[in-house]
Structure 1
Amino acid sequence: MTLKELAYVAQSRLQARIGSPIRRGHVLELFAAAAGFRSWAAFDASALLADAGTDGQGLQAHALIVGRAIQLEYPTADAELVAAALIELIGELQLSFVEWQALVAAVHASSPRSRESLDDEDELADEDLEDDEWETESRSNPRHQPQSQTLPTPSPLLLDSLERAAQLRPNDPVAHYALAAFYRCERPSPYLYEESLKGRKLSSIEQGWVEGYLRAAPLYEKYACHLKAAASLGDRMAALEYAELLGGRALYEVVDKMEGPVSAQRMAELAPDDTQRLKWLRVAAAEGAPDALAVLARRGDPTALTQMAARGDVDAIRTLATEALDSDNAMDAWQWQKLALLHGYDLTVSTMRAYHDGGERDGQFYDSDFGGGLYAAGDEGLELPDISKAQATEAAKRARVIYQSAGLRR
């Protein structure tokens, strides 16, 4: 149902109830009152009507409908009848409303999500990807679905309201991005459809796939069209999603130069080269993304290693201590040892152990009574140089400062 159709149905229902004409504009004013707004203009600037299953806010303000009808110069008796009839219609059509502010937040929250983890270097490496290779990789990446717990369920009336808003707000990307989010889907393959046009005889299963393509293709076109419109109007999140959709370095670089909020983690994932990837990994780490920090630490980034160490990551602490020893920096080496002790580790103690390799005890500590293959894993204890008592005190003090920088106290 469209807004125009809703207004006509409501007008007919209310006129039949009171037996006298009602202006179409008054019907919209009464819907606005039902949502708690003083006028349709105020409602239209702040919210959208929805129907049939959309988990929006309810339209049940009977007293406000009566009051607004009286303001519109309907007799009190007619105002009561109008309110009762309108609430009946609201219940029948399951009408509700969605506020723009909540929709904006939901749309951005529903944008394609980051991978489960950035902590797999293979996911981010491929450091020398050419443009066409990156484009292929981008196109093969499955489209992510919106998070249904945040994005309202679309309905015919909500979609029509958004289409109307997109026309009335030509410089606002929100309506376009919301429509793109509702239509978001994978690019359907036209292969079998094109083959059928060439005369290929399709099996019943293949014919079903063609029918699926014919249903999905218009939705994908709407998705791509509205996404492009939102991106061109300056929504950086939409622009990033559009760059992912089409692939290629040029679109990514446009997003990189834009202003506005964007997912640093997604920027890192989609980066066309390692320079951009590292740049956005650092932004993501600064914003508190633990996976980005872990990737940077594994790449040897000193700042990330220090942050990981401060939080108690023993591998980061051991890496920093080893680097200090390699540089003949005894004080730094002892600083990291003192920090390890604060976190309950001792870098001078070997963690090397023998484990069963294969069989029913695979991965368990090696027991010679069972025999079989084995492998060794762990780290050898570090040999730290001697330092003076004063140096040891200073190293402990520095370690405590790092420890407390992570919000820890001891």
Structure 2
Amino acid sequence: MTIKELAYSAQQHVQASTGASFKRAHIYELLAASFGFNSHAAFGVNSVLTELRPNDRQVVPQGTLINRRCIELGYRPETATLATSALESFLTERQIGAASISTLISRLRGESPNQDDEPEYDEDELFDPADEAFGPILLDGLDAATSKGNALAHYALALIYAPDDEHDPDAGSSYWYEQGQQGRVLTGVEKEWAEAHASRLAHAEKYAHHLKEAGRLGHQDALLDLAERFDDPSFFEQPGHDVDADPAAVAAIAERMGRPADARHWLTRAAESGDTDAMLQLIEE
């Protein structure tokens, strides 16, 4: 299900429950209010809708905010009351929640998220990096956010589609993929291998695209990842660096890219933070 399909279903449910006509744009506003936001625009800065799994903690829609937003949008108080009840039941039955994109990124990077990014409910189980089954609503929400130039959404998608460095695909997969591309009819295991390889190629393309877009939009971690993965010098060419990364690791990237001045700069930062190996390396130079 896409975000548009979800909004359409919510619109139909609310209208059937209230007997009133609701604009689709207003449904988006009420969905945002359900999760504590004053507007859909504010919601979209760092949040997306997502489907909760059976074991996830249930999210309680914020009825007071839904009701208030309904009245702000020009609906009568009695209609607002009915719409609030209808939307609350709709979201509960469909098990729809909201997720912070920053929290998703932290989970995917294996970090502890910033407490300021934590919602009132527990997202820990929503974003298990070992679980590749990201729901279609969440992915569609991230795609929609990227279309509006959201760097966070681009970076989140890059991390979702990032290649698994520990995964060593069977060499036969690429062979059978190439055979299929040349017109050979594949069946059984050969077809499965070819399809798996095609999926990896598609994910790799999406990974590179979203990482580059996030970097172009100024996301610092994305720029550093571009340097590490693609030897893109943009990270080192910018005047300032607002990134929470191991300075020694950044120095190693700069050294590999043939940027001795940058390597020394980051080694110095590592030494200043107490890294004894960095101190010794600077002394030996």
TM-score bracket relative to the smaller structure: 0.7 to 0.9
In the alignment, structure 1 segments of 5+ residues that lack a partner are 114-146, 303-410
Structure 1 residues 300 and 166, CA gap change in structure 2 (3 angstroms): closer
Counterpart of 2:92 in structure 1 is 91
Identity of aligned residues (%): 33
- RMSD, matched Cα: 3.7
1:16 pairs with 2:16? yes
**CA deviation digits over 1:47-77, x for unaligned, max 9?**
3322244979935112222233334343444
Label 1:284 to 1:277 Cα distance change in 2 as closer, same or farther (>3 A).
Answer: same
Q: How much has 1:162 moved relative to structure 2?
A: 2.2
1:267 aligned onto 2:250? yes
Corresponding residue number in structure 1 for 2:283: 301
Larger relative contact order (CA 8 Å, sep ≥ 6): 2
2 CA distance for matches of 1:112 and 1:43? Answer: 24
Q: Does 1:254 align with 2:234?
A: yes
Aligned to 2:80: 79
Matched, 1:281 2:236: no
Counterpart among 228, 241, 244 of residue 212 in structure 2: 228
* Structure-2 residue corresponding to 1:164: 144
Pairwise CA distance, 1:202: 7.1
Return the alpha-carbon distance in structure 2 between the equivalents of residues 229 and 77 of structure 1: 46
* Equivalent position of 1:214 in the other structure: 198
Q: Does the Cα contact within 8 Å between 1:179 and 1:223 map onto a contact in 2? A: yes
Aligned length: 256
- The letter of the residue matching 1:107 is I
CA contact (8 A) 2:152 2:214 kept: yes
SS at match of 2:147: helix
Classify the secondary structure of the residue corresponding to 1:97: strand
Compared CA separation, residues 30 and 98, structure 1 to 2 (3 A): same
Larger radius of gyration: 1
Tell me the amino acid that sits aligned with residue 27 of structure 1.
Answer: I
Q: TM-score, normalised by structure 1?
A: 0.53
Query: 1: distance between equivalents of 2:242 and 2:102?
Result: 13
Whether contact under 8 Å (2:268, 2:282) holds in the other structure is no
What is the alpha-carbon distance in structure 2 between the residues aligned to residue 238 and residue 216 of structure 1? Answer: 21
1:268 match: secondary structure? helix
Which sections of structure 2, spanning at least 5 residues, go unmatched? Answer: 112-126
Whole-Å separation in 2 of the counterparts to 1:112 and 1:37: 27
- Of 99, 102, 105 in structure 2, the residue corresponding to residue 104 of structure 1 is 102
Measure, in 1, the Cα distance between the counterparts of 2:39 and 2:215.
32
Distance 1:254 1:37 in 2: 35
Q: Secondary structure at the match of 1:87?
A: helix
In the TM superposition, residue 238 of structure 1 has moved relative to its aligned partner by 0.9
Within 2, Cα distance between the matches of 1:196 and 1:73? 58
Q: Compare 46-55 and 231-240 and name the one that shifted more.
A: 46-55
CA distance in 1: counterparts of 2:157 and 2:32, whole angstroms? 23
**CA distance in structure 2 between the partners assigned to 1:266 and 1:8 by the alignment:** 48
